[in-house]
């Protein structure tokens, strides 16, 4: 298993109530994990939010902490609840009450990667599933809770920006091609995980650098936004999905020629978003 569950990149001085996080960009594919899989090392990366941790790496420069997962999404999905266990993969899980994510093989221990490619030939034991949860899910979420608690304590609010990437094909079917397709999708679970004012300001940061933004379609947010978005308590959670085609070759899983330019654009976005949370009284009364 990977040696650690996460890394926190901390600012020299905490200057914002915004916390950036990337739960799906982990790349520590251990030999023991790869040997269990029937996929090639390249195929198993297909559901990874590749390079998202690099795209948002500037967050600490502007006073915001940045939490990144180290284990890959194919090993354990941190954007799922601990009880989203797949009976088709894990021994002893009852076949009842499955949500669509579990049914499609995308539970907390994924059964498949992109395009429904099976990761394993057989099943995993409940003991192994629980070990992954205890050694990776539990510490990652404890760290996230601590960062949000710290932000709220100092600024009277906490704003989680949960950073993800989306396959370009996910937005190809949205309306007309070209200008009508979003490059960034913000998910606030249709207004339940963050205040409208917070989401408006985050959207303005992306629009301000020339990126096209939509909300909640096709991604409204999953477990993390649901669990951590408590706008009535001054804690907001927004999922950010960025079109992978902007910055990477999706087939080769390599940065493309636009990577540096997109990273620089996102630096300005980070500056603007961090400023949303730099005033202790800005949104505390909401």
| CA dist 105 → 42, 85, 86, 111, 120 (Å) | 19, 9, 7, 5, 11
Residue 246 lies in a domain: yes
Distance CA 66, CA 161 (A): 10
186 has which bridge partners?
215, 240
**110 domain-assigned:** yes
What pLDDT score does 19 carry? 98
Residue 285 has a pLDDT of 36
40 in any annotated domain: yes
Domain that holds residue 87: 6-276
Neighbours of 220 (CB within 10 A): 19
Pair type for strands 254-255 and 248-249: antiparallel
Q: Please, are residues 189 and 228 in contact by the beta-carbon 8 Å criterion?
A: no
CATH number at residue 95: 3.40.630.40
Position 171 scores a pLDDT of 86
Whether the model clears a pTM of 0.85, i.e. scores above it, the answer is yes
Residue 1 lies in a domain: no
Q: Residue 281: inside a domain, yes or no?
A: no
Q: Is 239 a member of any domain?
A: yes
pLDDT score at 286: 37
Q: So what's the pLDDT on residue 192?
A: 97
pLDDT at residue 261 in the model? 98
24 lies in some domain? yes
Structure tokens at 255: 């940065």
Q: Which pLDDT score, from 0 to 100, does residue 130 have?
A: 97
Closest Cα partner for 192 from 226, 159, 158? 226
Question: Angle CA(117)–CA(254)–CA(110) in degrees, nearest 5?
Answer: 25
Q: Which residues are 159's β-sheet partners? A: 18, 236
> Quick one: pLDDT at residue 180?
74
The pLDDT tens digits along the chain (286 residues) read 556 899 999 999 999 999 999 999 999 999 999 999 999 999 999 999 999 999 999 999 999 999 999 999 999 999 999 999 999 999 999 887 778 899 999 999 999 999 899 999 999 999 999 999 999 999 999 999 999 999 999 999 999 999 999 999 988 776 555 557 999 999 999 999 999 999 999 999 999 999 999 999 999 999 999 999 999 999 999 999 999 999 999 999 999 999 999 999 999 999 999 999 666 544 443 3
Q: Quick one: pLDDT at residue 98?
A: 74
Query: What SS3 state is found at 31?
Result: helix
CA 254 vs. chain centroid, Å, equals 19
Domain count, the chain: 1
What ranges in 124-239 are assigned the alpha helix state H?
Answer: 126-132, 138-155, 169-172, 196-207, 223-228
∠ CA 127-129-131, rounded to 5°: 70
**17 domain-assigned:** yes
């Amino acid at each position: 298993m990977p040696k650690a569950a996460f890394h926190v990149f901390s600012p020299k001085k905490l200057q914002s109530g915004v916390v950036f996080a990337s739960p799906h960009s982990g790349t520590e594919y251990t030999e023991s994990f790869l040997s269990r899989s029937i996929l090639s090392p390249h195929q198993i990366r297909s559901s990874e939010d590749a390079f998202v941790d690099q795209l948002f790496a500037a967050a600490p420069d502007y006073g915001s902490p940045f939490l990144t997962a180290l284990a890959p999404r194919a090993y354990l999905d941190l954007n799922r609840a601990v009880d989203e266990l797949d009976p088709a993969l894990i021994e002893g899980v009852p076949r009842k009450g499955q949500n669509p994510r579990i049914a499609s093989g995308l539970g907390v221990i994924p059964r498949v990667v992109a395009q429904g490619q099976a990761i394993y030939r057989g099943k995993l034991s409940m003991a192994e599933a629980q070990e992954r949860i205890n050694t990776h899910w539990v510490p990652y979420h404890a760290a996230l809770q601590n960062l949000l608690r710290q932000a709220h304590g100092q600024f009277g609010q906490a704003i989680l920006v949960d950073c993800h990437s989306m396959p370009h094909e996910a937005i190809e079917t949205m309306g007309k091609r070209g200008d009508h397709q979003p490059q960034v999708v913000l998910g606030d679970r249709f207004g339940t995980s963050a205040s409208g004012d917070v989401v408006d300001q985050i959207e303005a940061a992306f629009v301000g650098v020339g990126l096209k933004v939509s909300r909640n379609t096709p991604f409204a947010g999953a477990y993390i936004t649901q669990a951590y978005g408590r706008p009535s308590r001054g804690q907001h959670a927004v999922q950010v999905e960025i079109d992978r085609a902007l910055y990477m070759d999706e087939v080769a899983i390599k940065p493309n020629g636009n990577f540096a330019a997109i990273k620089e654009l996102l630096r300005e976005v980070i500056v603007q978003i961090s400023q949303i949370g730099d005033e202790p009284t800005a949104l505390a009364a909401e």
